[in-house]
Amino acid sequence: MFKKVLIANRGEIALRIHRACKELGIQTVAVHSTADANAMHVRLADESVCIGPPAAKDSYLNIAAVIAAAEITEADAIHPGYGFLSENARFAEIVAAHNITFIGPSADHIRVMGDKIAAKDTMGKAGIPLVPGSDGAITTIEQGAKVAEEIGYPVLVKAASGGGGRGMKLARVPEELENAINTAGSEAKAAFGDASVYLEKYLELPRHIEIQIAADSHGNVIQLGERDCSLQRRHQKVLEEALSPALTPEQRAEIGEVTRAAIEKLGYLGVGTIEYLYENGQFYFIEMNTRLQVEHPITEQVANIDLVREQIRIAAGHPLSLKQSDVKFAGHAIECRINAEDPVNFTPSPGKISDFHAPGGPGIRFDSAVYDGYTIPPFYDSMIGKLIVYGDTRELCIARLRRALAETVLTGIKTTIPLFEKLIEEPEFQSGDYHIHWLEEWLSKANA
Ligand code: ADP
């Protein structure tokens, strides 16, 4: 096992990784920007290294500074968390070139899945169901028009290198196609330096359902069931549940096994998530994330597993601590992403937390790095905590969520807690009958 792991991240996920390391008897190194000198991940880690000024590009994304910190502290592995350098294939290669273990998959797998066209092609060949669309990139408007006619409107123009919902444009009718192709391409060129786009059938009212997998270097590949992440705003997940209220046990077992078998075929190593859209009983692959996800805790709760612990064990060459036949699901879990934002117009609300009290009691887990008197810097993501709730039934889970939201004290800044308090009283949420556009429709009605 590793002696010392450098955590190349900040916030709640840096703490989550620190906790898994400590339970495995591993020393931790925190890296931080000057803006995070007083952050909780820095306080808790065994050692810390300042790697640059506040801007992420000069600190958390500064590969040379992260590697230097690992060398100075003699860390034998680096955990990238999510975001920042976690899906940077070049970073994974550089880490390996310095004889440090990258806690994640191979650089080749990161690279393939980072290109949506290559990912679709690879996954299709491995037996994963795809959204009907163009076979590779669209190079001319005429070619795009031909494909769109074949698959039928509406179509979605998507950037090969897109992410975070950027580089995606809808064309409902043929007249909108040219503009959609051009804007998606130029948006992607500006944001990611790559203008290639492809076409996909636009699914009208799907759910977003993703499968968690884990694969070790001993040939064991397991799937850990799904998470339903259909409640989104601007393509960003807001609340997630495991398991999905929309699937039957048979559907769950079937898509789980299709996904598991494909990952086995790919020879993938580490944890990962295969994201699907789900409509009318059919699954359609959209992308694979080759890292730990923000919403991993809900899977941990229902499958009784520590995914970060498994991830570290896999990277150290250990076998998975359970086989597929050991994977059993119990109860229900929901995660709310608590953001430092105005709950109505979503403008960021950084600043000093004057009073903080975390919710507790049965079935409550609060993953956060905030504390009383902590000042949230304005430079990073606005997510400041994750309220994870679990119970034997979905009903009990919602009751506990209501109770936990009411218990939480987080003053001095605005948070999205009031949004969740309203959302969980909605009949559609309570019945589980929602799709990926439902939350935005509800928000525009609520704010009208
Ligand atoms: P990103 O990498 O930008 O997050 P994804 O491909 O994962 O892009 O898609 C993000 C979201 O966009 C999905 O969760 C879904 O809401 C929507 N989306 C993507 N592809 C389609 C599609 N073919 N039809 C309808 N909605 C889609």
Question: pLDDT per residue over 8-20, tens digit each?
Answer: 999 999 999 999 9
What is the rounded distance in angstroms from the CA atom of residue 235 to the CA atom of residue 258? 26
Q: Is the CB of 199 under 6 A from ligand 1?
A: no
Paired residues of 344 in beta bridges: none
326: CA distance to ligand 1 center in Å? 32
DSSP character at residue 372: T
Q: Is the pLDDT of residue 164 over 80?
A: no
Q: Is the pLDDT of residue 282 over 90?
A: yes
The pLDDT assigned to 10 comes to 98
Mean pLDDT of 185-206: 93
What is the rounded distance in angstroms from the CA atom of residue 155 to the CA atom of residue 170? 6
The pLDDT assigned to 263 comes to 98
CA nearest ligand 1 atom 17, residue:
235
Q: How confident is the model at residue 446 (pLDDT cuts 50, 70, 90)?
A: confident
286: CA distance to ligand 1 center in Å? 7
291 annotated active-site: yes
* DSSP reduced 3-state for 244: coil
CA nearest ligand 1 atom 15, residue:
235
Q: Is the pLDDT of residue 2 over 80?
A: yes
289: CA distance to ligand 1 center in Å? 13
Strands 4-7 and 77-79: parallel
The pLDDT assigned to 447 comes to 78
Taking the CA of residue 286 as reference, the ligand 1 atom at the shortest distance is: 6
What is the rounded distance in angstroms from the CA atom of residue 433 to the CA atom of residue 349? 31
200: CA distance to ligand 1 center in Å? 10
Q: How confident is the model at residue 32 (pLDDT cuts 50, 70, 90)?
A: very high
Cα separations (Å) of 443 from 235, 277, 343, 438?
14, 22, 10, 9
Q: How confident is the model at residue 374 (pLDDT cuts 50, 70, 90)?
A: very high
Q: Mutual orientation of helices 89-97 and 107-114 as an angle, nearest 10°?
A: 170
Q: Is the CB of 202 under 6 A from ligand 1?
A: yes
The pLDDT assigned to 220 comes to 98
Of the residues 291, 313, 337, 400, only one is catalytic, namely 291
Q: Is the CB of 198 under 6 A from ligand 1?
A: no
Taking the CA of residue 133 as reference, the ligand 1 atom at the shortest distance is: 23
Paired residues of 262 in beta bridges: none
The tokens of 424 are what? Answer: 């969980």
73: CA distance to ligand 1 center in Å? 40
Burial 72-106 (b: 16+ CB within 10 A, else e): ebebbbbbbbbbbbbbbbebbbbbeeeebbbbbbb
Q: Which of 138, 114, 113 is nearest to 128 (CA)?
A: 113
What is the rounded distance in angstroms from the CA atom of residue 133 to the CA atom of residue 259? 20
Q: Is the CB of 165 under 6 A from ligand 1?
A: yes
The pLDDT assigned to 176 comes to 97
Q: Is the pLDDT of residue 165 over 80?
A: no
Q: Ligand 1 pocket check: which of 134, 204, 286, 288 to mutate, most ligand atoms within 8 Å of Cβ? A: 286
Q: How confident is the model at residue 42 (pLDDT cuts 50, 70, 90)?
A: very high
Taking the CA of residue 168 as reference, the ligand 1 atom at the shortest distance is: 3
What is the rounded distance in angstroms from the CA atom of residue 174 to the CA atom of residue 227? 35
Q: Which amino acid appears at position 303 of this protein?
A: A
Q: Is the pLDDT of residue 256 over 80?
A: yes
pTM of the model: 0.96
CA nearest ligand 1 atom 20, residue:
286
Taking the CA of residue 166 as reference, the ligand 1 atom at the shortest distance is: 3
Q: Hey, how many other C-beta atoms are within 10 angstroms of the C-beta on 393?
A: 10
* DSSP reduced 3-state for 347: coil
Q: Which amino acid appears at position 29 of this protein?
A: V
Q: Is the CB of 31 under 6 A from ligand 1?
A: no
Q: Mutual orientation of helices 296-303 and 307-315 as an angle, nearest 10°?
A: 100
Q: Which of 337, 333, 161, 154 is nearest to 234 (CA)?
A: 337
Cα separations (Å) of 126 from 109, 252, 260?
14, 19, 10
Q: How confident is the model at residue 448 (pLDDT cuts 50, 70, 90)?
A: confident
Work out the mean pLDDT of the chain and round it to a whole number: 97
Q: Is the pLDDT of residue 44 over 90?
A: yes
Q: Is the CB of 200 under 6 A from ligand 1?
A: yes
Q: Ligand 1 pocket check: which of 123, 128, 168, 289 to mutate, most ligand atoms within 8 Å of Cβ? A: 168
Q: How confident is the model at residue 101 (pLDDT cuts 50, 70, 90)?
A: very high
Mean pLDDT lowest for which of 134-143, 161-170, 240-249?
161-170
Residues 6+ apart with CB under 8 A from 225: 211, 212, 242, 243, 252, 256, 299, 302, 303, 327, 329
CA nearest ligand 1 atom 19, residue:
286
213: CA distance to ligand 1 center in Å? 20
Using a pLDDT cut of 70, give the percent of the chain over it.
100
CA nearest ligand 1 atom 2, residue:
163
Q: Mutual orientation of helices 63-73 and 89-97 as an angle, nearest 10°?
A: 30
What is the rounded distance in angstroms from the CA atom of residue 89 to the CA atom of residue 234? 27
Q: Which of 11, 8, 14 is nearest to 308 (CA)?
A: 14
Helices (H) and strands (E) in the chain, counts: 15, 20
The pLDDT assigned to 48 comes to 98
What is the rounded distance in angstroms from the CA atom of residue 68 to the CA atom of residue 55? 18
Using a pLDDT cut of 90, give the percent of the chain over it.
96
Q: Which helix (H) or strand (E) holds 59?
A: none
Q: Is the CB of 245 under 6 A from ligand 1?
A: no
